[in-house]
Amino acid sequence: MRRTHVAATVVAAGLLAAACGGRPAPETQVTTPGTSAAAAAASRSAAPSPSAAAPTPTPASTLGPGEGRLSVVAIDGYAEWGGVDPKVKWVGTFEKQTGCKVSLRYYDPRQEEKQADFPPSSFDVISATPEVGGRLMNEGRAAPVNTALLHDYDKIPKRLRTLPSVTRDETVYGVPYVWATNEVLYDADKVSPDGPEALFRDKGPVLLRDRPLSLADAALALKAAGEEIDDPFDLTDAQLDAAAELFTSGEDDRRVFWRDPVEVVQAFATGSARLAQATPYHLDVLRRGHKPVKALTDRPVTGWADAWMMSAQAPHPSCAYKWLDFTISADVQRRVAAWTGLAPANPEACTGAARRICLDYRAGTSRAFRGVYFAVRPEAYDKWVERWSRVVS
């Protein structure tokens, strides 16, 4: 199984070695949704519609001793047990510290949404993208979090703690985990772009992230060209159409839509890309590989923050809180950042193996979030998905 991380070795040719999945540790059950009997049963359970959602539960007031079990649904690479690299593991540490045995399964946030996704009684905690987290909050599937029960919560910068992707009406539903920004990278030997519109105007090859919210990056290009856009994630139908049209304005066969971060590094390393929508860590990896790749320094840019959320019907709420508390500790955040190439939510993690990652994202400095529009699930997300399906087809 290909991992989401890009924390691998840059070899002489400048290519990134992608790690492959191994066998899970005996103490941790790892499944893919739909492959186990329990997951199959869960997938057949109809998810509640927004109107039929159960009343929002009251946040826990105290933390119990733990139920001895925890069901975790995670993005690939966000909960490691040592199956890919024996040195990269924190799930087992959590089990030893808390006595909560983890049942772990992965999901792909890029797959098309289905109504039966994430039945709230089928998991305790989930690592949620802004799209997934927004849906869980909208449909009443996420539980509000009593942040007073989380020791390191206040160490997370206020900007991340108050993002609309993790809050509703000042109620907290998500605990930030990792974050990143989208940058415009270019091969300095081949092109000198003037601004973000180069992603859509250049002859290519250009690599673009295969994600409906990439339409927000096109909206920023429209904004730079004079379009009156206040928030690239809040667009009128006309602005959404204009953003989609930018993706198809060039030669179609010169636009490549990527999903695996390794694709970006390989394209620049082999000289087959002129520009790409990527992250600061991509740039760092390519520079260490001695490739002539630079990034536009102009802002604004888009970004995103993924968070852990607790199910509104969590079977093991005390262990769920223990997990939330564990994952924002500096030690775990340091490991996660070094493994994923994403910035830690807790700046105290910016030492040791995570120091270079934090430098890439300016994490822990006053410049970290300057000029960043953080992603949120748009109100008309179905329209974004529909426009994006036209772009990539």
CATH number at residue 313: 3.40.190.10
Percent of the chain clearing pLDDT 90 (strictly above): 73
pLDDT, position 56:
59
Q: How many domains does the chain have?
A: 2
pLDDT, position 60:
65
Q: Are residues 388 and 239 in the same domain?
A: yes
> What are the residues whose beta carbons fall under 8 Å from the beta carbon of 28, sequence distance 6 or more?
81, 91, 92, 95, 102, 103, 104
- Separation between Cα atoms, residue 146 and residue 55, nearest integer Å: 17
Q: Indicate whether 6 belongs to any domain.
A: no
- Separation between Cα atoms, residue 86 and residue 14, nearest integer Å: 25
Q: Are residues 265 and 335 in the same domain?
A: no
Q: Indicate whether 360 belongs to any domain.
A: no
- Say yes or no to pLDDT of 43 above 60: no
pLDDT, position 298:
85
- Say yes or no to pLDDT of 389 above 90: yes
Name the average pLDDT for the chain.
86
Question: Bigger pLDDT: 8 or 220?
Answer: 220
Write out pLDDT tens, residues 272-308: 999 999 999 999 999 999 999 999 988 899 999 999 9
Q: Are residues 35 and 145 in the same domain?
A: yes
The amino acid at residue 238 is A
- Separation between Cα atoms, residue 296 and residue 277, nearest integer Å: 11
Question: Bigger pLDDT: 281 or 29?
Answer: 281
- Say yes or no to pLDDT of 388 above 80: yes
Q: Indicate whether 353 belongs to any domain.
A: no
Q: Are residues 61 and 107 in the same domain?
A: yes
Q: Indicate whether 197 belongs to any domain.
A: yes
Question: Bigger pLDDT: 15 or 226?
Answer: 226
> What are the residues whose beta carbons fall under 8 Å from the beta carbon of 389, sequence distance 6 or more?
none
β-sheet bridge partners, residue 107: 75
Q: Are residues 165 and 193 in the same domain?
A: no
Percent of the chain clearing pLDDT 70 (strictly above): 83
Q: Indicate whether 276 belongs to any domain.
A: yes
Q: Indicate whether 107 belongs to any domain.
A: yes
Q: Are residues 295 and 174 in the same domain?
A: no
Q: Are residues 309 and 219 in the same domain?
A: no
Range(s) of the domain holding residue 236: 181-303+377-392
**In the chain, which residue ranges form alpha helices assigned H by DSSP?**
37-44, 91-98, 130-138, 158-161, 198-201, 215-224, 237-247, 261-269, 280-288, 317-327, 330-340, 355-361, 381-392
- Separation between Cα atoms, residue 88 and residue 102, nearest integer Å: 16
Q: Are residues 126 and 44 in the same domain?
A: yes
- Separation between Cα atoms, residue 186 and residue 298, nearest integer Å: 14
pLDDT, position 54:
46
Q: Are residues 228 and 243 in the same domain?
A: yes
Q: Indicate whether 367 belongs to any domain.
A: no
Q: Are residues 285 and 189 in the same domain?
A: yes
- Say yes or no to pLDDT of 9 above 70: no
pLDDT, position 385:
96
Give the strand pairing for 301-310 and 174-181: antiparallel
pTM value is 0.87
Q: Indicate whether 372 belongs to any domain.
A: no
Q: Rounded mean pLDDT of 187-214?
A: 93
Cα–Cα separations (whole angstroms), residue 335 to 195, 262, 323, 330, 390: 34, 20, 15, 9, 38
Q: Are residues 231 and 125 in the same domain?
A: no
Q: Are residues 254 and 292 in the same domain?
A: yes
Write out pLDDT tens, residues 170-197: 999 999 999 999 999 999 999 999 888 9
